Chain A
Amino acid sequence: MTGLDRMAAVAATEFRLAFRNRWVLLATLAFTLFALALAFLGSGPSGALKADALTLTAASLSTLTVYLVPLMALLVSYDSIAGEIERGTLALVLATPLKRGELVVAKFCGHLAVLALAIGIGYGIAGAVIAGVHGADDAGLIAWARLLSTAVLLGAVFIALGMALSGLPRQTGTAAALAIGAWLILVVLYDLALLGAVIVDQGGIFTKTVFPALVLANPGDAFRLYNLALIESNAPIAGLDGLAHTLPFPVSSALLVLVLWLVASLAAAWALTRRIRP
């Protein structure tokens, strides 16, 4: 019971700090504005099928979410361990009965709560505005809810990853550099490298067998494929996303990939925090 109370204290303080340092405001604004911009600037031309607006925006927003949510998640978590070492508070915190595992889980929960709140409010407002202006059908609402909840799962993966990277260095600056590096590699360069390989391969064995597995192995791509594959529409999809409807795996495997990433990152964060001498 006292263990839970200690964890609640850590999570509550993280939650409070995210509000105080304006992270919640910044993230909520970003999510709301990007979602609305996509709805009213991006999918504007599809005037004939107004009821589809929510579904169409969900499809295009899933692509943007892959960039935005990991960035925001890393922004909230990169500092979590290294920052406390640098400020000297980790030694104080670990001198109390709080266990290292409790610290990792509690910080993760606190960060996830603020991220879920920001995504919920941001995408919630945008979804309500789109539904209010264009109307909404069941498929649209389901697609939107699926987008919102899997975005939180994707955020959880990157929060845990940010915490693991934060357990490596002793300086906040290095932790920030590692987080940016992770974002660039996983979100940007990974896809570019795969696309390059597909072009070189020209429809060979790599494209047919290895490529789909490699795409699915990336948490951002897994998130996007899951959302796109389940959206029944003729929304224009290009590039890697073409795979969404020809995926040689069941759709649910994308969710499994995200959960595996989450578990592995949390385990890494815990293992790295255990070996720290504050």
Chain B
Amino acid sequence: MTDATILSVDELTIRFGAVTAVDGVSLGVAPGERVALLGHNGAGKSTLFKTVLGFLKPAGGRLSIGGAAPGSDAARRAVSYLPEQVVFPKALTGAEVLTHFARLKGVAPKAALPLLETVGIADAAGRAVGTYSKGMRQRLGLAQALIGTPRLLLLDEPTSGLDPVSRREFYDVLEASARAGTAVLLSSHSLSEIENRIDRIAILAKGRLRAEGALADLSRRAGLPIRIRVEAAEGRVEAVHARLGGERVNGRSVVVTCRAEDKVSALARLAELGSDVADIDIALPDLDDVYRHYSGVTAQGVVQ
């Protein structure tokens, strides 16, 4: 709620009849910050976006975009939006689509057209959108969203269905805009996809905010165990199991779990086993485990 935040959401509640789609969510996004909203389908991500755009009226709470009400002139000028599925008219060229949206946003088309270069489809500017691949269409959508250097970019699952290269380039462009001061709020299904590309994440489940913070912090706070898989030497699995405890798998391996801060001492104990151990594999809790932890789904294989 300080002057520094572009988007401030305070105790926001949105209802569709008897269904509460967003339930008391508070969230702030500052200039230059990239925040990801994570959640399953129906978690309330798109509903939250549509409220920021002014399409839905909140049942409770407050929401402001740089101090302006959602849907107001000032808010519309500050915000740009890219939904997951957008089909531009097939008969128009990429340059025509961009020109159209530049004029709607009150930006000179000449100033907007270089954005096709930014997103890497300048070569296809004169071709009909109908001939574009899914990745190119999404890049065109991003170029459209970047017109006029918005203060807040709202991207609803922008990279779903993109190949890994397009996805990386997509996040490169977002990083550049964030560095230039644009606040980015995007939604995603998958934590692993946005690792290292995002400053902060907010996990939504059933309309409620379950966790919010930097990925590393969330990961630490989750306190998920580290799994160490010890492969015993020929015929030594009984001895290893007797010394370490844990769970036997596959006839030759033992899996033990420990907390992150106990990792070093666990490895020291392993070293004492000497030649009884053939191999060691350490699995840190991965991002999807962290996500599942906060969204209330128990992951298989995680002990405790």
Q: A5 to B106, Cβ gap below 8 A?
A: yes
Q: How far is the CA of A241 from the CA of B56 in the complex (A)?
A: 51
Is A89 interfacial (CB 8 A cutoff)? Answer: yes
Partner of B76, one of A5, A13, A97, A277: A97
Residues of A163-222 at the interface with B, using a CB-CB cut-off of 8 Å, are: none
Is B73 interfacial (CB 8 A cutoff)? Answer: yes
Q: A97 to B88, Cβ gap below 8 A?
A: no
* B 66-80 binary contact with A (CB < 8 Å = 1; else 0): 000000010011011
Interface centre among A2, A9, A17, by most chain B C-beta atoms within 10 angstroms, is A9
Instruction: Name the distance in Å between A81's Cβ and chain B's nearest Cβ.
Output: 14
Q: Interface SS of chain B: helix, strand, loop or mixed?
A: mixed
**Across-interface contacts of B270 in A (CB, < 8 A):** none
**Across-interface contacts of A94 in B (CB, < 8 A):** 53, 55
Interface centre among B55, B73, B99, by most chain A C-beta atoms within 10 angstroms, is B55
Closest to A14 in B: B89
Residues of B82-129 at the interface with A, using a CB-CB cut-off of 8 Å, are: 82-83, 85-89, 91-92, 96, 99-101, 103-106
Partner of B77, one of A17, A91, A97: A97
Is B144 interfacial (CB 8 A cutoff)? Answer: yes
Q: How far is the CA of A6 from the CA of B104 in the complex (A)?
A: 5
Partner of B79, one of A5, A9, A95: A95
Assuming the contacts A95-B79, A95-B81, asked whether A20 and B104 have C-beta atoms less than 8 A apart, the reply is no
**Across-interface contacts of A92 in B (CB, < 8 A):** 81-83, 86, 101, 141, 144
**Across-interface contacts of A21 in B (CB, < 8 A):** 91
Assuming the contacts A6-B104, A277-B50, asked whether A96 and B86 have C-beta atoms less than 8 A apart, the reply is no
* A 1-20 binary contact with B (CB < 8 Å = 1; else 0): 01001101110010011001
Q: A89 to B86, Cβ gap below 8 A?
A: yes
Q: Interface SS of chain A: helix, strand, loop or mixed?
A: helix
Q: A6 to B106, Cβ gap below 8 A?
A: yes
Q: A97 to B55, Cβ gap below 8 A?
A: no
Instruction: Name the distance in Å between B244's Cβ and chain A's nearest Cβ.
Output: 55
Interface residues on A, range: 20 to 34
**Across-interface contacts of B88 in A (CB, < 8 A):** 87, 89
Q: How far is the CA of A216 from the CA of B229 in the complex (A)?
A: 87
Q: How far is the CA of A98 from the CA of B83 in the complex (A)?
A: 18
Q: How far is the CA of A91 from the CA of B155 in the complex (A)?
A: 12
Q: How far is the CA of A141 from the CA of B112 in the complex (A)?
A: 49
Partner of B92, one of A5, A13, A87: A13
User: Can you name 23 A-B residue pairings with CB atoms under 8 Å?
Assistant: A5-B106, A6-B106, A9-B103, A10-B100, A13-B89, A17-B92, A87-B87, A88-B86, A89-B86, A89-B89, A91-B53, A91-B55, A91-B86, A92-B83, A92-B86, A95-B53, A96-B76, A96-B104, A96-B105, A98-B104, A277-B50, A277-B55, A278-B55
- Show the binding face of A for B, using Cβ within 8 Å: 2, 5-6, 8-10, 13, 16-17, 20-21, 87-89, 91-98, 277-278
- Show the binding face of B for A, using Cβ within 8 Å: 50, 53, 55-56, 73, 76-77, 79-83, 85-89, 91-92, 96, 99-101, 103-106, 141, 144, 154
Across chains A and B, which 7 residue pairs bring their CB atoms closest together, nearest first?
A: A9-B103, A20-B91, A95-B81, A87-B87, A96-B104, A88-B86, A97-B76
